[in-house]
Structure 1
Amino acid sequence: MKKLIGLFYKNLFFNNRLFACLAGSVVLFIFGFFFPWLGIIPRLAFWIVVLLVILDLLMLYRTSNGVFAKRIAPERLSNGDENELGIYIESFYPFNINIGIIDEIPEQFQKRDVWFKTMMKPREHKQILYLLRPTRRGEYEFGFIRVFVKSPLGLISRRYNFEQTEILPVYPSFLQMRKYELMAISNRLTDIGIKKIRRIGHSLEFEQVKNYVSGDDYRTINWKATARHSNLMVNSYVDEKSQHVYCVIDKSRSMKMPFEGLSLLDYAINASLVLSNVALLKEDKAGLITVSEKVGTVIPADSKYTQLNKILEVLYKEKTRYLETNMEALYTTVRRVIKQRSLVVFFANYESLPALQRQLPFLRRIAKFHLLLVVFFENTELKTLSEQPAKDVEGIYIKTIAEKFAYDKKLMVKELASHGIQSILTSPQNLTINTVNRYLEIKAKQKI
């Protein structure tokens, strides 16, 4: 009995409308002291408020289970993307109610204002949708769903608590991966900024002999088949398949730098996942190597159906470390694991020219045996500072330093090009598009 009474008081809340009514009663009592002609009006008003409160209690507590709520969430969340979640709510009251909902989202989001308000008719059910954008991989714990119900009188609220604690893992951006996957399947990669590459020459992969249609290259006409069928026939070629594409991710402290809530490592992981998926769709073989002061995970290139899930599970657990990259260990691993000429996409971050020059001897050795593509990041904050006009001496100093760092980035691109190493200097938000674009360009020009 004591427990039921405790729960009753614990889930009972007074609303502002009740306090306003009580304040009005107090004002009437004060005026009644100075104006005796008011008579019993103050007492009558007070007891009316009391009766309304009792009536409100009966309306809310007459139904034992007046509402039902349930969180609708995916099995996992996508890092850096807007993930859609929902709350299903159903009313069992025979009258209209006003509802306020609190969903106890994980502490990683640092949000204390997740409050949804709605009105529900008798026996109505609704679904409330909202978006969450995680910026860190790992496990996110959701708590209770708390529903506050008000009757049409609106004097008090009854709280319902629905225990739905669950832990959702946040994986690298698989939503972004699916978007690029659909684009690649439908050949609509140009719609998202990936330019169309003019093909040079023909692939060695013969597909079939087909009828000539307007636009086919005259050089592919098969004259023997044309003579047999009395119609122009052409040879059809496809991109070479089963080429090896390795994503190498630097996990050193330079990749810890944040940008729009995500670290550079997270951007590299998301781009690696998308690139691996596109490579598998193009029937190439995708592999992965992670490195910091020592070599981390090594997944040999493969085109099996389970390869993408294997890469996803590995990338889910990767974290930045606090020592510099051991390039000698990386070079040894590349020579040991990658047996044939492959495309090696190295995701790193260089903030100064000497930092690149320390690693350059090993990059040159890797480039002797494989097609090496170095992907590193623009410092967008410094770029913004360099473009702002200086207003004082301090501003001139800051602008000069920012321009110097931006110029160093351009020198890095030239330094790599002078040694025959391709590179991409990109902002974090354009990393995926630029990387996939370059992969398609390399494949179209048959450089692997």
Structure 2
Amino acid sequence: MKNFFNLFYKNLFLTRRLLFGLIAAVVFFIFRFFFSWLGWLPNLYVGALVLLAIIDGVLLYRTRNGLFARRQAPERLSNGDDNELGIYIENFYPFPVRLGIIDEIPFQFQKRDIWFKTSLAPHQHKLLTYLLKPLKRGEYEFGLIRVFTQSPLGLLMRRYNFEESEVLPVYPSFLQMRQYELMAISNRLSELGVKKIRRLGNSMEFEQIKTYVPGDDYRNINWKASARHGTLMSNSYTDEKSQQVYCIIDKSRSMKMPFEGLSLLDYAINASLVLSNVALLKEDKAGLITISEKVGAIVPAEKKPAHLNKILEVLYKEKTRYLETNMELLYSTVRRVIKQRSLVVFFTNYESMPALQRHLPFLKRIASFHLLLVVFFENTELKMLGQAPAANLEDIYIKTIAEKFAYDKKLMVKELNKYGILSILTSPQSLTINTVNRYLELKAQQKI
């Protein structure tokens, strides 16, 4: 009896068509009170409506499992990217049905409109796809798939609940990483905004002797080999390999600031993952250090095939902390972990000149041993305020203060350059492009 209650009563709903029919019945009875000639017509109408509702219920419930639904999702989601998910639905009824489908997505998305309307012919199946864009790393729990079914009569609606609860992890932006990887393999990085850097000279790593073709640098002609072969031969050089590229990510409170839903820490993590992948594609070694008031994760620089997955797993677990970065500890960690001269990319954020001045002594020490690149962020909200027209005195004050903060950021770049420290001042959205461009530029200029 309890199973029948759960199967029939709890999952049975009235449709608008039936409600409008009942309202029409009430109107019929009201009219009969004034017009006696209507007689038994309202009673016949109500009887027909009830009979059709019973027939509709029999159609919906005579097939015990009239529908099948399953969520199709990847093993993990990519943070900050549009991830495609799907719902596979199949109709086992011998008649066409109209469906309303609710997918109970994780609460982190704060969406209540994942509702699909579709129809299926007898024994037809269909795949419905939609996109989700997570803005925070971690575990996301999906709930049930609820399907509301109507027969051609459309008076009643039966609900199916499919136990599709699952937990999907949200990792740093591996979709963006793959996009850069595919573009790099096919030499189409310029489509993503990566600049083609002119090489200033030849790297010192010899690759092979090959036949000279028009367009090769004539300075690389190997005259001895040309004399032996009776044709012009040219020395071929390749990029210097096995150089170390370390990404250092600041996890302090300054990286908690959000832009377009993502925190600065997440932007830095996504950029670090892409930069590490590009460095490995260039046959350099990629390493990682995270820091706040204490040392977080340390991944020594390597170029093994599985090394990128190790970096990905470490970045997945990193979270913002709420204390200031211990720069003395960072310096000692860099000296202990990084034994040879390397490119050190430090992702952090400075909102004022005093904040930079506190870090500057330790940044100068690191720069004396390594090629240091400090990456920090423009405040795009303040930049928009500074560019907005001023309509009154209050707007003038706001605009002046915003421009003052923007000017301070430019002064920080000059201050770093004064001590030979490279820097990138970028908007969060352009972080990955600008960082990869600078890495390729430094590599082409043979500074690492």
Q: TM-score range by the shorter chain?
A: over 0.9
Partner of 1:268: 268
> Is it true that 1:208 corresponds to 2:204 in the alignment?
no
**1:24-39 pair list within 5 angstroms:** 24-39=24-39
Partner of 1:311: 311
The amino acid that maps onto 2:413 is: V
**1:167-316 pair list within 5 angstroms:** 167-316=167-316
Moved more, 396-405 or 34-43: 34-43
Name the SS for the 1:207 alignment partner: strand
Q: How far did residue 214 of structure 1 move?
A: 2.1
Q: How far did residue 191 of structure 1 move?
A: 1.3
> Is it true that 1:349 corresponds to 2:349 in the alignment?
yes
Partner of 1:163: 163
The amino acid that maps onto 2:407 is: Y
**1:45-60 pair list within 5 angstroms:** 45-60=45-60
Q: Which sections of structure 2, spanning at least 5 residues, go unmatched?
A: none
What does the per-residue CA deviation read over 1:213-267, in whole Å, with 9 as the maximum and x for residues that have no partner? 2211111111111112222211111100000000000000000000011100000
Q: Name segments (4+ residues, structure 1) moved above 3 Å.
A: none
What does the per-residue CA deviation read over 1:275-332, in whole Å, with 9 as the maximum and x for residues that have no partner? 0011011110000000001111111111112211111111111111111110000000
Name the SS for the 1:372 alignment partner: strand
Q: How far did residue 7 of structure 1 move?
A: 2.7
Partner of 1:120: 120
The amino acid that maps onto 1:377 is: F
CA RMSD of aligned residues (A): 0.8
Partner of 2:66: 66
Mapped to 2, the partners of 1:213 and 1:195 lie a distance apart of 26
Mapped to 1, the partners of 2:177 and 2:198 lie a distance apart of 25
The amino acid that maps onto 1:65 is: N
Mapped to 1, the partners of 2:249 and 2:443 lie a distance apart of 21
Mapped to 1, the partners of 2:51 and 2:298 lie a distance apart of 73
Mapped to 2, the partners of 1:131 and 1:257 lie a distance apart of 26
Mapped to 1, the partners of 2:321 and 2:294 lie a distance apart of 10
Name the SS for the 1:241 alignment partner: coil
Name the SS for the 2:168 alignment partner: strand
Q: How many residues align?
A: 448
Moved more, 426-435 or 214-223: 214-223
Q: How far did residue 205 of structure 1 move?
A: 1.0
Mapped to 1, the partners of 2:443 and 2:324 lie a distance apart of 32
Mapped to 2, the partners of 1:2 and 1:416 lie a distance apart of 74
The amino acid that maps onto 1:316 is: Y
Name the SS for the 2:93 alignment partner: coil
Identity rate, percent: 75
Partner of 2:423: 423
Q: How far did residue 2 of structure 1 move?
A: 2.9
Moved more, 63-72 or 41-50: 41-50
Partner of 2:143: 143
**1:75-114 pair list within 5 angstroms:** 75-114=75-114
Mapped to 1, the partners of 2:324 and 2:280 lie a distance apart of 31
Q: How far did residue 6 of structure 1 move?
A: 3.4
Moved more, 200-209 or 228-237: 228-237
Q: How far did residue 3 of structure 1 move?
A: 2.6
**1:292-441 pair list within 5 angstroms:** 292-441=292-441
Name the SS for the 2:198 alignment partner: coil
What does the per-residue CA deviation read over 1:392-425, in whole Å, with 9 as the maximum and x for residues that have no partner? 1110000000000000000011011111011000
Mapped to 2, the partners of 1:143 and 1:351 lie a distance apart of 41
Mapped to 2, the partners of 1:188 and 1:361 lie a distance apart of 40
Mapped to 2, the partners of 1:362 and 1:437 lie a distance apart of 26
What does the per-residue CA deviation read over 1:47-80, in whole Å, with 9 as the maximum and x for residues that have no partner? 1111110111111111110000000011111001
What does the per-residue CA deviation read over 1:103-157, in whole Å, with 9 as the maximum and x for residues that have no partner? 1100111111110110100000000000000001100001111100001111110
Name the SS for the 2:227 alignment partner: helix
Partner of 2:19: 19
The amino acid that maps onto 1:405 is: F
Name the SS for the 1:443 alignment partner: helix
The amino acid that maps onto 1:158 is: R
The amino acid that maps onto 1:292 is: S
Mapped to 1, the partners of 2:6 and 2:407 lie a distance apart of 68
Name the SS for the 1:396 alignment partner: helix
Mapped to 2, the partners of 1:6 and 1:239 lie a distance apart of 69
Q: How far did residue 364 of structure 1 move?
A: 0.5
Mapped to 1, the partners of 2:270 and 2:51 lie a distance apart of 61
Q: Which sections of structure 1, spanning at least 5 residues, go unmatched?
A: none
Mapped to 2, the partners of 1:37 and 1:210 lie a distance apart of 106
Moved more, 370-379 or 4-13: 4-13
Mapped to 2, the partners of 1:5 and 1:417 lie a distance apart of 75
The amino acid that maps onto 1:317 is: K
Mapped to 2, the partners of 1:237 and 1:177 lie a distance apart of 28
Mapped to 2, the partners of 1:85 and 1:151 lie a distance apart of 27
The amino acid that maps onto 1:87 is: I
The amino acid that maps onto 1:127 is: L
TM-score by length of 2: 0.99
Partner of 1:130: 130
Name the SS for the 1:5 alignment partner: helix
Partner of 1:446: 446
Moved more, 118-127 or 210-219: 210-219
Mapped to 1, the partners of 2:350 and 2:187 lie a distance apart of 34
Mapped to 1, the partners of 2:289 and 2:445 lie a distance apart of 25
Mapped to 2, the partners of 1:321 and 1:6 lie a distance apart of 48
